A = this chain, B = another copy of it.
Amino acid sequence: MSLDRDGIRDAVAAVRSGDPRALGRLISWIENASPALPMIMKELAPDTGRAHMVGLTGPPGAGKSTTATSLVRALRARGQRVGILAVDPSSPFSGGALLGDRVRMQEHALDQDVYIRSMATRGHLGGLAVATPQALRAFDAARFDTVIVETVGVGQSELEIAQTADTILVLLAPGMGDGIQAAKAGILEIGDIFVVNKSDRDGAQSLVRELRTMISLADRGPQDWKPPIVSTVAYENRGIADLLDAIDRFWASQMESGRADERRVARARREVESLALAKVRAQFRLNGEAELDDLAKAVSRGELDPYAAADRVVLHR
């Protein structure tokens, strides 16, 4: 896609006005790494930094979508404009939007103040590490007050995406071999608020106890915030007010302590670094496609070691 200056100006104005369709178009450009992005993002930069980004992660089946939808409802009741960005880093292949998306949209189909969107990246340079913060920036510029970044699954990529948020919710549910899996995935270390969803099920109380112990043992670094564990039954809206209350308290304490800013700077830093690396990688490919192939052949045959090959790539870019 290429846009002239007028096209870019119109697109920027539409996003700024809060038009969900303009936002959706911009996110598609982000997914596809449109060459117009640098100009668009330049124009939008002054309009960013206001939205509260809430990350929502946890194993499949814990009820992330239901919880996100309940949070949207509760935040709408406060008059907020609310977005959901559902990121699926689990597949570099299948791409495309999540099935549940359109279903979820229906409840809010006529509401201009709710926008639910899923995102995948198709072989995009820099991948979701570049695309996710850009998409959040887009929601922000489109005057959304809260954006929930929902990830699918629990891998390293999911954690990285969750960490682009201001406030990180970790969702678990009883009966999923939860505790140990959670520890493995490193989510004990990053959660600001833990949610035990489906808390009407057997094992919910023991999961809460187990979680409490594991959080106290996790290496969370120095911090004054003690992450609460909130019990919910999201599909019945139970516990959502408590969850919202915990989010409010956390966010207020982050703002007051200056940690909110620290996180945002760290997020911007990762974003800038990822973009810079994507740029360099594109240079490798542009200038050295044939050379890279030759080097790879030599390495695969044992004629050259990969470090020496990498040196040549960096030197010749």
Contacts and interface: CB of A to CB of B under 8 A. Distances in A.
Interface residues of A, number: 78
A45 interface: yes
Interface string A27-50: 000000000011001101111110
Contact of A293 (B94, B265, B305): B265
A308 B38 contact: yes
Interface stretch (A104-112, A154-162, A202-210, A227-235): A154-162
A265 B296 contact: yes
Interface in A178-225: 181, 183-186, 189-190, 219
A299 interface: yes
Contacts of A93: 186, 189-190, 219
Nearest to A298: B268
A186 B46 contact: no
Contacts of A37: 307
A281 B273 contact: yes
Nearest to A49: B302
Interface stretch (A16-24, A84-92, A241-249, A250-258): A84-92
A244 B134 CA distance: 46
A8 interface: no
B308 A42 contact: yes
A276 B94 contact: no
Contacts of A183: 94
A177 interface: yes
Given A42-B308, A184-B94, A272 B295 contact: yes
A58 interface: no
A306 interface: yes
A60 interface: yes
A311 to B, nearest CB: 7
A271 interface: yes
A59 B98 CA distance: 20
A152 interface: yes
Contact of A276 (B276, B302, B303, B310): B310
Interface of A: 37-38, 41-42, 44-49, 60-61, 88-94, 133-134, 137, 152-160, 177, 181, 183-186, 189-190, 219, 261, 264-269, 271-273, 275-281, 284, 292-293, 295-297, 299-311, 313-314
Given A49-B300, A154-B155, 18 more contacts: A44-B305, A45-B299, A45-B302, A60-B177, A91-B159, A93-B219, A153-B153, A153-B184, A153-B185, A268-B295, A268-B309, A272-B309, A272-B313, A273-B281, A273-B313, A275-B307, A275-B310, A276-B314
Question: 7 nearest interchain CB pairs?
Answer: A155-B155, A91-B186, A269-B296, A275-B310, A38-B307, A268-B299, A93-B186
